[in-house]
Structure 1
């Protein structure tokens, strides 16, 4: 996860008037400064999605919380995609056979038995396969 100090620096860059709050206008200008376009209505919607106290503005805590949630969602999406690469047979888990196939695609030759041994290291419930939750624990 990105350090909160980085989020604070980003927030301060967006907070052009230095009042400790981001307005839709400030958000729109900042996005524009990096060459992207954000319509005012879109900026209002983004601010509204971050605004937990209902004041129509985004404070530092709201901004950091929102950024952390976005970062976590991105990580989970990437983990699910990676899991899907190993889980090839539609079983919803990584089997020794599916691990062997993926490793072969990556240029590493392993037997099904060796792959089973590799999986057992992270197989929390002992069923011989890795569920997404076990994979997530292994990767994080």
Structure 2
């Protein structure tokens, strides 16, 4: 964990071109452009406003860590959405006992209808007999 924060510190210091221990929207914009990306000043300002914990219009180190670690969360969420689509299969926006059984069978796990109903019931928070995405996300965490 300590190594990860040392890496974050190095990147933070690279962004912090004037050395004031804060990252401004223009510094974010410059760094994104330096790696070949595009980011308008308005987009950089919006990112800072969203992550700025103390309201000074700049990102401190803790704000920066949230920015970096938050991008991984989006990737995890996209992976979960893809997995959910594989299980739901019926296009109904939920995982039914039937679609769960079918997917588990494809994965080499033979389960009865009752076993699939029980698996779903354990995480079925609203009691409708199927798993919506939020229930699936909780199950996978």
**Which of structures 1 and 2 has the larger relative contact order (alpha carbons within 8 angstroms, sep 6+)?**
1
Return the alpha-carbon distance in structure 2 between the equivalents of residues 43 and 131 of structure 1. Answer: 34
Q: TM-score scaled to structure 1, two decimals?
A: 0.68
Counterpart in the other structure of 1:60: 61
Q: TM-score scaled to structure 2, two decimals?
A: 0.67
Asked if the contact 1:28/1:43 (under 8 Å) is kept, the reply is yes
Query: Structure 1 regions of 5+ residues with no counterpart?
Result: none
Q: CA RMSD in A?
A: 3.3
Counterpart in the other structure of 1:94: 95
After superposing the two structures, state which structure 1 stretch, 125-134 or 26-35, moved more: 125-134
Asked if the contact 2:29/2:41 (under 8 Å) is kept, the reply is yes
For residues 1-140 of structure 1, what are the structure 2 equivalents within 5 Å? 5=5, 6-90=7-91, 92-103=93-104, 108=107, 113=112, 117=115, 120-121=118-119, 123-124=121-122, 129-140=130-141
Aligned length: 135
Shift of 1:87: 1.4
- Match of 2:53, SS state, is coil
Shift of 1:101: 3.5
